[in-house]
Structure 1
Amino acid sequence: IPQISYASTSIDLSDKGRFEYFSRVVPPDTYQAQAMVDIAKELSWNYVNTIAEAGTYGEKGIEAFKEAAVKSGVCWAKSKIIPRNAEDKDYEDIIHDLLDSTNSAKVGVMFANEDNSRRFIKALVRLNRTQELTLVASDSWGAKIHPVYGQEAAAVGTITILSKRKDIEEFDDYFLNLTLNNNRRNPWFPEFWEATFNCSVHGKGPLKKCTGNESLRSVVGYKQEGLVQFVIDSVFALAHAVHDMLSAHCPNGFERCPYLRRLTGEEFLSYIRNVSFEGIGGDDVMFNANGDGQGRYDIYQYQRTAEGKFAYTRVGEWTDSQPCKFGESRRRSSQCCWMCVPCKDDEYLKNEETCEPCDAQSKPNSNRTGCTRLPVIYIEPGSLWFLLPAAFCTFGMILTTFVLVIFIRYNRTPVIMASGRELCYLLLLGIFLSYTTAFVILIRPSPVLCAIRRLGLGVSLCFIYAALLTKTNRIYRIFNVGIKAMVKRPSYTSPRSQILICSCLVSVQGVGGLTWLGFEKPDTEYRFHQKDFLALECRASQVATLISLFYNMFLIVLCTVYAFKTRKIPQNFNEAKYIAFTMYSTCIVWSAFITIYFGANHDFRIEATSLCMCVGISATVSLFCLFAPKVYIVIFQPHKNVRQATSSSLPSTTGKTTRTYYGGSSGLTYPAQNGSALRQCEEAGSLRAGECTDNRVEVVNAFSDSLEDLSCDEGMEIPEPPPLPPLLPPPPPPEEQEESQDQFG
């Protein structure tokens, strides 16, 4: 439970390992120990004695004094401890030892309570040695009358210190107007009233009954207790902490605030330690990291006045405010007291009391007196961050160009014709643009390059995955049509339709990219990198970049789904397997990219390089998986890149084939279920043989027309069916068949 003290000054209470939740509006005794050292230095007392009472207050106080004295060059001759329950002889022995003829130190620094201080003065009087020792006493003596009462002359010249305080007039007005009738809430007030006016509230006993008309203003010798200011400040500190906490977490009032139910002492302590307000005495109230108040002391000397009276005279004051270090500003709480507050990381010291932030492209210099321009960095062309991705993308561009040359050179060969040339060229365009865009990501950003990067990144990838989606969708629709649909070629499978579908898919990404450019103008920006550099980057958030790639991710998912569905098509048409492997690999690459990109801790080099490599690897996967088998056949197995004159088996959607012999012709294969339907037709005898034959031809020809558009792992075209009986219509001339294959292949 957090606590705020108004009087506890023990040094031990600054130990947060033991007293974590303790705070106080008064300074610890370490401050007054330092004040005593500074007084000794100011008066050139470089050799002193120390006197402490046994216990935490005295011994810890003198220990703190000695630590500060060592740093300031003040030495001590003898150190004496007043024992607990000391007798008069104990005080006299201490004085004899301190004032020994061999001891030249005639100043005694005393940490003792007022009773021990009074008895020490009495011993000096008894020994008649009051003029031989000058005392510097702690705040326990302060400006109290009790230590000097009846022995005022002996105490003349004593220097004491006391926490800086002020009489609060408002408290006097409040307190002196209290009566038994208007202060019933305080259970101890009647007891105080009886002691003050020597009467009985209830009229019992020998004392007269209190009338209630007594007035505190009539009391002679009333003086406000010196701790009143600190009591009020501690209450206000708690109130400010509660107010700040409720303002932050309970804007609608604390009656229905769920935060209060789970509030911990640690959380509430943070609000106490962060309060700062003007106290009742006019000084700022705040806490340091240990929860201690500011060190402010008045310095008194007990003197005889010109009128012959004795009184404590204020001769100075001490504050704990030392000259601030470089990069620290003064936070004043009074004319002579301040706290040193470090400037923020991006601020310099404009003057002693003001920290000023540097602009977005500067940082404070080494001594925080001004700002220096931050060096601008980007991915240098000679660095490994640039060379490795650039070499990878250059190699990819060369391979892409090589594949394109092969396709153009062997454009009319069966393997190239059967691969769906139009979509392949779009794929190669997307792959080449992907490598090019990866280069743009690495080059020093400019508004134009940032626009190209935004638009090119999405469009280049979209060319690849839109073409793949069109391919896989086409394969899926051809191999998954029903029996009745086999009579007719599936719609939108011609080359022209495929290009149109692919173009529409790409246009969606293009329109989205242009819209993004319209809403957020492409430009560069500077971002802090390791606090010492400015990274030059394109102005686009990570989220916006991922949103621009979302459409491509959607296409990737669809491609993967279709590739999975067509994974079991017949062996001669297994380009879908290569597409499936491409999509699985792409999903893995992009999953790894997202992890690296968001885990880069805003390192622009990792972000740019990972994005570049991800785009390049995705393009490379597509290039090798989809084009390497075809290029290999064209270059190293040219005997397979010719039109086959013999017939071969056609696959079925179930992976089985049915060979039919009719009218002396053999070798024609068609789907098993369709063959079964034809056999049922023939066995039922409900149709003439010619009708069954016509039906069979229509089914097989339609299925063959659809399949001849697909590529196969050996680059072979679909064989032409053998001649059928004369009652079937003759097949088209060979030149028309070649033209058809070129159009739909």
Structure 2
Amino acid sequence: MLSRIPTVLLAVLCRCVLVSLGVDPPHPRREIRIEGDLVLGGLFPVHEKGGGIEECGRVNEDRGIQRLEAMLFAIDMINSDPTLLPGVSLGVHILDTCSRDTYALEQALEFVRVSLTKVDDTEFICPDGSYALQEDIPLAIAGVIGGSYSSVSIQVANLLRLFQIPQISYASTSAKLSDKTRYDYFARTVPPDFYQAKAMAEILRLFNWTYVSTVASEGDYGETGIEAFEQEARMRNICIATSEKVGRSNAKKSYEAVIRQLLQKPNARVAVLFLRSDDARELLSAAARLNATFIWVASDGWGAQESIVKGNEATANGAITLELAANPVPAFNRYFLSLDPINNHRNPWYREFWEQKFQCSLGGGGGGVGAGAGGVGSGGTVSLSLPPCDKGVLVDDSNFEPESKIMFVVNAVYAVAHALDKMQRTLCSNTNKLCDSMKALDGRKLYRDYLLNISFTAPFSPPGSETVVKFDAYGDGMGRYNIFSYQHNADRYGYVPIGEWAETLSLSSDLIRWPREVVPPSQCSDPCAHNEMKKMQAGEYCCWICTACEAHEYLADEFTCSPCAPGQWPSEDLISCYDLPEDYIMWEDAWAIGPISIAVVGFLCTSLVFWVFVRHNSTPLVKASGRELCYILLLGVFMSYSLTFLFLAKPSPAICAMRRLGLSTSFAVCYSALLTKTNRIARIFSGVKDGGGTTKPRFISPTSQVFICLSLISVQLVMVSVWLLLEVPGTRRFTLPERRQTVILKCNVRDSSMLLSLGYDVLLVILCTVYAFKTRKCPENFNEAKFIGFTMYTTCIIWLAFLPIFYVTSSDYRVQTTTMCISVSLSGFVVLGCMFAPKVHIIMFQPQKNVTSLRLNINRFSVSGPATTYASHASQAEEQDYIKASHGPEGTASCSAQTHTNTAQRLEGCCPEAYAFTPQPCSNQTL
């Protein structure tokens, strides 16, 4: 503190030098001094900033005169209140700041003079040897009310803290002033700006204004306010297109330059203002001159003041402004309306206010329009050109608008009074007068122990809306703001309340009348369609390019298109995915009707063959065909037709297991029976061909044949069972990359695995085909070998055609399934057509052929060693070359050819039920 005292003393010493040289100050100081037991200082912007070299400009009617009178009004109320500071009168020492921080600091030196003069005055000797003049003895200041602007309060607070003088502001909202390490004697009845900045950011977010410009007044109020706003804006993804400042020079070109800069960002239709009232007025004027229109979102520096928009109503149309929530003070309104230049002698600036307001001259009263607080005027002769004031002119309801922060001025004065009252009751409990402890006022104790801990109901609060005045730990007041829309209604412009902010935003947007009846956009880029994402531009998180999502993608957020999981599809609003319905072949589908029709025909044909064979079960033809194997073969054919219904049924674990079991097993049943047949025939005739006497081959009896066939089938059953254990049947939702919108319900088996399961069946087909080829020249009774050959050749063709089709159509499960069903059914029809159709035809339409016979082709019979070869009947022309042998009662055979006898005996032993030979005498042909 001592390091700052020489600087402060310099101002006092300068006054001594001027007096010693016989030089008086150019103009006497104008101030309000009212003595009392305790004196409160006051700092008010009675004048606006001057232009050029002028310190002060025109009178500030609202923020200056009204607030100053509000302090005087509060002092009067406190002095007349017997319950508050009884026996103690409060005085005032009020000075003008001229809306400048440097000028205010100079004025505030008056508040600390008493601290400086506590030292012996004789120690201060002027250069001519005289003592320092003590024309006006300084008043001891208990506390200071003010200032108004944050920049003023910061400068003054740095001075007052050195002398431990508490300071309470009624309007300074800079967040810097909450720093108690620097401003440890400062308090305020208004909240800090970061509450206001948060409210402004929430308003922008509500209307989706994400790209805005900002303009701030140079100084602590504007700069710290915009800094707080930008921080809140970043948290809400709001971008700042350009940030401008209005400098200390209020030249018109500087405001126009700011407007031109704002116009460089045409997409930023909204301008956020943290401006002092005079800066806001000049900026609106500059916008009007340049014919620029914006949506203004302004802080309480603009508030709901008519003086700011006067003359620029159209330019301000649509503005949204914030004002600290305050209750009106009707008692003050009545007090202010009762004042006039005749009865208001204690306010030296009131006459100047009167002349400016009514544009008239009071004459001879001094201090004409334009006179500064220190007497420096910008136009001292202005009042001479004005007409004399009419005695009937009064301040009344028609020309009076209460200033919005009157309540906060009154609360600030009452806060100090309550703190002093509590301190007096504590230190001077035995008297109502000031005791010695109070006379030597400890500012530190007053501030920390009493002022920060006070809590009282705000005076003059309307019933039902009592407001509590108190401070938080940082000496700040509670935050609550009213929100206004400046709009045109009923042929006039005015402020319309549209909401409030008290920790959260509450705003009725339907009360706003926009200039073009729609909410104007303020975005760097146009909004993307509902199916588009934002591709951000480098360095600009509010500027983007809209990129459409793929058909199978949804918007995970506004910046990301994410693919839906397989089997899912984006919802209509693209905010989520839903499970696609499972697609499978329905019974009524065209793809199912065809295979089902074929299978039904197959069932009917198989049933007919089965009925014919059962009906003629004991006939020679049925016996010769091998009844047991035929019935097994018919079972396999029936199973192949049944597969159509399994493959067309809705997949389920049970259906999938039956598909895997039925496909390979049905083929195994068919081809095991056919292999057993061809193997039996081959073994019989291989013995004949090899000349093996009358010994019949082993395992050719019906029982043996059935056992062999079932053994071959069981091999397939074992293989399929192991497969089912290794790969448990189940279903899966399958989606093709090129058809993601379709989810196919399939069995959880790969196509390759399904085909591999047919490997054993392929082996059976190959063996059958080989045996059928080897037995192709058996006698006519054994033409069944020929038919088996036809069956296997046709089956091979079908399978060779089926496999490529099955793989090629894997992308379309309908075609693949239909192909599978038809191929399996065709295999069944081949067996029925080649194996059973000829027999059924003979049984039903040629019963005369259903007899026991053996035709031997003599012409093509040849002997080479002991072997004998039989060939089947070739044509009707060779009929005479055959020897017919029919049943004889003794079952014996005789022939002149011994070879013929041996062959007949072997065939009889092989097939006793079908072939009992009673040969007639052979012809004369040579054997």
| TM-score normalized by the length of structure 1 | 0.46
Higher helix content, 1 or 2: 1
| TM-score normalized by the length of structure 2 | 0.37
Higher radius of gyration, 1 or 2: 2
